Amino acid sequence: MSFTAATYNILADAYIKRDWYQYTHDDVLQPARRRAALCAHLVELDVDLLCLQEVEADAFNDFQRCLEPLGYRGVFAQKGRAKPDGCATFYRTDVFNLEQAVRVEYADAEQIAERSGHIAQILTLNHRDQRLGLVNTHLKWDRRGVPAEQRYSYRQIVQLSGERKRHVPDCQAWIVCGDFNATPDDQIISHLQQTGMTYSHADKAAAYTANMSGTPKVIDYLFHSRELEASPFALPKVTPTTPLPSPEQPSDHLAVAARFSWVSR
């Protein structure tokens, strides 16, 4: 009894700055062409759960049109503070039943100048009579060296731990995924590990998930609780000169995917 899942920051058109993509040809960044390439790429991923970040409302509508005929249903949540994008989760209806979907806008903190508008989607899904809690989120980027208590992203992941318990207290397993804007040595990752979560690609430390401005990084994650066992899918090799987006990869991030099996206890 297993299912497949992927997390993928698709790169919102509103955030594209040409100077950041020195190895990418101009035509690859053309919005209509890239949108069509994204639709095709999502279909090619062929997973049961698609957790997307930096999704603009019109992009969500396009993805619905290409995915619904294949048996998917989607849920979209817009960021706050008039941000142009949000998170979207698509699930195969013959694999999952949706019990509830909650949008959480991060409170951030009084010590921080203002709210970021960043959000999380928390879904409760039924898979073969097992209840799965799913978090799809995009944490805010922080400058390196900022103390944890002053960082948006760290306060957001701590808040998320409480929101999970509040909204879905009785699920059998959890997946927490998204663009965390944090490398594996970050306190955000340590916090999730301390709550009993494991990164699906932890044994593939050299497998980068994004390349912005010629700096490949691991910042996208599929975390899961111990009730699930992950078999990670291989990631394409990324070097500082790898063009992202490219004709084959329409975002500056890669989709991180795995097969999950329920652990018998």
Q: What is the per-residue pLDDT across 196-229, written as a single tens digit (0 to 9) for each?
A: 999 999 887 668 999 988 889 999 999 999 999 9
Pairing of strands 2-9, 49-55: parallel
Over 90: is that where the pLDDT of 120 sits?
A: yes
Closest CA to 157 of 197, 210, 129, 204: 197
Average pLDDT (189-201) is 93
Average pLDDT (50-75) is 98
What are 15-37's pLDDT values in tens digits? Answer: 999 888 888 999 999 999 999 99
Confidence of residue 265 (pLDDT cuts 50, 70, 90): low
Q: Can you give the pLDDT at residue 236?
A: 94
pTM value is: 0.95
Distance separating alpha carbons of residues 263 and 199, to the nearest angstrom: 16
Q: Can you give the pLDDT at residue 113?
A: 60
Distance separating alpha carbons of residues 15 and 185, to the nearest angstrom: 26
User: What CATH number is attached to the domain comprising 77?
Assistant: 3.60.10.10
Distance separating alpha carbons of residues 79 and 119, to the nearest angstrom: 6
Q: Can you give the pLDDT at residue 259?
A: 98
* Number of separate domains in the chain: 1
pLDDT, the chain, mean: 92
Confidence of residue 144 (pLDDT cuts 50, 70, 90): confident
Instruction: List the 97-105 sheet strands across, edge first.
Output: 97-105, 119-127, 130-138, 173-179, 220-224, 198-199
Domain residue limits at 64 = 2-262
